[in-house]
Structure 1
Amino acid sequence: MRLFKEKLAWAAPLAVILIIALFSVNLFAQGNPKVKNLPVALIVNDEGVHVDAVQSAVKQMSKGTDGEEPMLAFTNEKEENIETLFDDKKYYAALVIPEGYNDSLQNGMKNNTSATLNIYINQGYNMTGANFAKTALNGLVTQLNNQYSTNFIAQMDGQQIDAAKAAVLVNPIVSEEKVFNEITASTANGSAPTLMAVPAWVGALIGGFILFLVTSNIFKKEKLTRKQTLRIMGGQILFGVIIALFSGFTVATLASIAGINMPSYLLVAFFVSFAAFCFFLLVSAITAWIGKPAITLFMVVMLLGMGVLMTPQEMLPGFFVNFIRPWVPIRFASEGLRDIFYFGSGFYTGGSFITIAGIGIVGLVIYLLSIFKPEPKTK
């Protein structure tokens, strides 16, 4: 058949393979995630043989099993610093040995009271990571509790005990949890920041590409001076502001209708608008230099990035952590919104704000420099 002799026809199945591969690459990130080295703080406010037993259990847990990396990576910290460290997203959780723990466990059977280990959970950092850390720490407390319970029961063999003493005998160690930077209700279980950041990128991508097509048609029809070209570029930037504001307020309005519990409608709307405008400048810059292939590039970035947005980096393969995650612009918008939603941040969100602004500034400079791009030779 004649169609089979056409080289372009064979590009169709190859294109399908490439597109499916790009859509499916996130299977490597999400298919079988393994938690490793989740940063957890260890706070020791007491001393004694029973405190040493907890530290020994922590040390054993830090070694991992079967040659694999451990689930948790412990670092000693002071309790007065933990709130700041949580706000800076240094740890997903903390295990606290409170003052008086050693005596409480030593005299638990006499006083009919269980000793307490505290577990602090930095929920707003990442709900998935915080839950894994919480589960692992509760498992550690349960392990210690079972060991002491077995020893106490062996010591009490044959003795008469009352109900209060029996409760301590079964649970000589209990855990108390305290949540920091709590994920509020009606925020899609902590996914709202990411779900609201993605439209900012998509709006910038679509808006930027449409304006690129419009300006390209203008440049094809007329030969413009650099001054005229700059005016058109200025108009494109002004349109970018309009597109960004439409993006931000549309996202905030739809989120409000959907019942998302936003800390401030205007704050969220303007932050999404800010991120969308900076992304628009980046899209405009790249399309101005390389043209239509830029859209394919940005779509690939978005597809690869979707697998890393909601997953803690400790659960991702090394390739995604080193080569995909740092280059996903949506991640910084998501982190900024996370600071606004759960960490009490204002419009300025620290590192994420600076990165987004940097993307916008670099995009603007590259876009303006495109005025010096050599014109293609015409036949």
Structure 2
Amino acid sequence: MLKNKLIIVAPIIAIIITCIFAVVQIPGAKQAPKNVPLAIVNEDLGVDIPNQGKMNFGATLVDMLNQPMKETSGEAEPAVKWIAVASYQEAKQGMDDKEYYGALVIPEDYSVKQASLQTSTPSSPELKIYVNQGKNATASNAVTQILNGIVDNINHKVSGQLIEGLKAHSGNLTIEQASVLASPITKTVTYLNETRTMGMAPMALFQPIWMGSLMAAMLLWVSQKKMAYTSKKNKMVTISIQVVIAAIASLLIGFGLTWLADGMLGYDIASFSDTAIFLTITSFSFVLMIEAVLMWIGLAGMPIFVLLLFFGAPLLSMAPEFMPSFYKDWIFSWLPMRIMVEGLQDLFFFGKGLTWSGPISTLVWIGLGSLIVLFLATLKPQRVNSSNGHKAVQEI
């Protein structure tokens, strides 16, 4: 038994698999927001205060929020990266373009209302919170907590300042002042590009598409593996037939999965045709990519796609800004299924149809590149095989 090589190999394989699964789980267990892009809009017009001149409490608030970014400059990355935007419309456009996870809007009467807090007839200033839910369903919860926490901190500071001011003047509180003292700043939270019950739908559809494409490519590769070709032209014809069959399989995968999701699984799909066509293009691109790798390096290429499945599943539900740097730079950015998730987000949450720009063009280029690599496989070295007096070439 000790002479059996498996006895030596088994512990090595065991530790390798253990390490792989541990590395896969790290991103989900260690989420820390870094430089999450949030828009900040200061529409505050300011207020004239007797003996103090022109005051703009909105600008003061913006400086206060930017202070942590200045303090951590060159050191640890701040959790939030504030991006100044001129207007709410510009911020909304940025959220529609998936540039920002959310926005904090300071209205034009913010200073006037904050100054009124010192008077006998106070009026609570309001801050408007916008959360771009469609950009990432998981991150939207964290962004909501971050923005709510920021407003709560502002409330705490303003409340403390009001109490100190009242102590200094030893004045009596009116009913109106007492009612706003604990929470002088109000807030409204609005979700844009809402996910409704479909928040995890793009990630849920990834695994069926990937596994279906993987099996289709694997079966196509196995079907031609032991074939003997009379010429390179004959092999090119065979590959062409494989591409046609891959297209048919992708069509069935794309439309079949959309039908299941829309009909049986109860997904709220706005456009059946757009979703089905997009999934068909995605599957065709994946099949060609996997088939091209298998044609060149054979079964040794399978672990690559299995590992992509393991690493992709937990990462696709996360926002890049919440990942450790290694995963963000070296794994997530190279995941081909990331493009599929982004395309489904556009279709499900942002009301975008099928357009050449964005995920569609990327998937098409991946497919074309894979197609070229696939046909270049005809240049692989061949060995001559004779059977029944006929000569043929067989792939090595």
TM-score between the two structures when normalised by the length of structure 2: 0.87
* Correspondent of 2:140 among 112, 130, 144: 130
Number of the residue aligned with 2:389:
none
* Correspondent of 2:35 among 15, 34, 37: 37
Give a deviation string over 1:249-301, Cα, whole Å, max 9, x none: 23222222121211122222221111000010101111111111111111112
Q: 1:304 Cα shift?
A: 1.9
User: Normalized per residue, which structure has more strand?
Assistant: 2
Number of the residue aligned with 1:97:
106
**What code does the residue aligned with 2:60 have?**
A
Q: 1:366 Cα shift?
A: 0.3
Q: 1:238 Cα shift?
A: 1.3
Question: SS of the residue aligned with 1:120?
Answer: strand
Give a deviation string over 1:30-87, Cα, whole Å, max 9, x none: 122111111111111124342233123202333577x642210111112231122112
Q: Check whether the contact 2:203–2:313 (CA below 8 A) recurs between aligned residues.
A: no
Q: Distance in 2 between matches of 1:145 and 1:376?
A: 78
Q: 1:8 Cα shift?
A: 4.2
Q: 1:339 Cα shift?
A: 0.6
**What code does the residue aligned with 1:122 have?**
N
Q: Distance in 1 between matches of 2:356 and 2:171?
A: 61
**Given the superposition, is the C-alpha separation of residues 301 and 167 from structure 1 closer, same or farther in structure 2, using an over 3 Å criterion?**
same
Number of the residue aligned with 1:143:
153
Number of the residue aligned with 2:192:
180
* Correspondent of 2:209 among 200, 210, 214: 200
Q: 1:349 Cα shift?
A: 6.6
Q: 1:126 Cα shift?
A: 0.8
Q: Which residues in structure 2 correspond to 1:208-287 (within 5 Å)? A: 208-217=217-226, 219=227, 222-256=228-262, 257-287=264-294
Q: 1:110 Cα shift?
A: 4.3
**What code does the residue aligned with 1:239 have?**
I
Q: Distance in 1 between matches of 2:11 and 2:284?
A: 37
Number of the residue aligned with 1:117:
127
* Correspondent of 2:372 among 365, 371, 377: 365
Gaps of 5+ in 2: 47-54, 386-395
**Given the superposition, is the C-alpha separation of residues 376 and 294 from structure 1 closer, same or farther in structure 2, using an over 3 Å criterion?**
farther
Number of the residue aligned with 1:77:
85
Q: Distance in 2 between matches of 1:175 and 1:312?
A: 26
* Correspondent of 1:323 among 330, 345, 349: 330
Question: SS of the residue aligned with 1:153?
Answer: helix
Number of the residue aligned with 1:6:
4
Q: Check whether the contact 2:102–2:143 (CA below 8 A) recurs between aligned residues.
A: yes
Q: Distance in 2 between matches of 1:248 and 1:16?
A: 37
Q: 1:26 Cα shift?
A: 1.6
Q: Distance in 1 between matches of 2:186 and 2:71?
A: 24
Q: Distance in 1 between matches of 2:207 and 2:356?
A: 18
**What code does the residue aligned with 2:252 have?**
F
Q: 1:377 Cα shift?
A: 7.5
Q: Distance in 2 between matches of 1:316 and 1:7?
A: 40
Q: Check whether the contact 1:101–1:116 (CA below 8 A) recurs between aligned residues.
A: yes
Cα root mean square deviation, aligned: 2.2
**Given the superposition, is the C-alpha separation of residues 154 and 8 from structure 1 closer, same or farther in structure 2, using an over 3 Å criterion?**
closer
Q: Distance in 1 between matches of 2:345 and 2:357?
A: 12
What is the identity percentage for the equivalent residue pairs of Structure 1 and Structure 2? 29
**What code does the residue aligned with 2:57 have?**
H
Q: Which residues in structure 2 correspond to 1:154-173 (within 5 Å)? A: 154-157=164-167, 159-173=171-185
Q: Does 1:106 align with 2:105?
A: no
**Given the superposition, is the C-alpha separation of residues 376 and 297 from structure 1 closer, same or farther in structure 2, using an over 3 Å criterion?**
farther
Number of the residue aligned with 2:310:
303
Length, aligned pairs only: 371
Q: Which stretch of structure 1 is more off in the superposition, 55-64 or 263-272? A: 55-64
Q: Distance in 1 between matches of 2:310 and 2:104?
A: 37
Q: Which stretch of structure 1 is more off in the superposition, 51-60 or 268-277? A: 51-60
Question: SS of the residue aligned with 1:292?
Answer: helix
Q: Which stretch of structure 1 is more off in the superposition, 242-251 or 44-53? A: 44-53
**What code does the residue aligned with 1:345 have?**
K
Question: SS of the residue aligned with 1:4?
Answer: coil
